[in-house]
Amino acid sequence: MDSAREHIQSELETVFRRVFDDDELVVSEATTATNVDGWDSMAHVNLIIAVEKQFGISFSGADLASMRGSGQTVGHLIVLIAAKTSRA
C-alpha cells in the first residue's frame, strides 16, 4: 500500500474508533461489517456521514451502492476516498 492510502487508512481508523466507540479498533483493507461489532445499517449511515465530514467529501448514490455486499470493505472505502480527494 502506498503512503497516501496508508494515511487514508489511518484517518479512517480514527473515524471508525469514534463511530463505534472503540479505542482499540484496528481496521485493515479487508475489514468488513461482519468484522466490526455494531456495524449495522444505522452505524453504516453514521460511518458514511463521519467519513464525509473527516475528508470533506460527498458520496454519490452510485458510490453508496458500490459499498453493498462484497464492496463493503475498508479497502473499497479507501479507494473511493482516494479518488474523491485526489490522493490516488
DSSP per residue, 33-44: GGGSTT-SHHHH
pLDDT at 77 over 90: yes
Question: Mind listing the pLDDT tens digit for each residue in 3-18?
Answer: 889 999 999 999 999 9
pLDDT at 69 over 80: no
- pLDDT of 86: 81
**44: CATH:** 1.10.1200.10
Domain that holds residue 25: 3-85
Tally of domains within the chain: 1
Distance (Å, whole) CA 72 – CA 77: 8
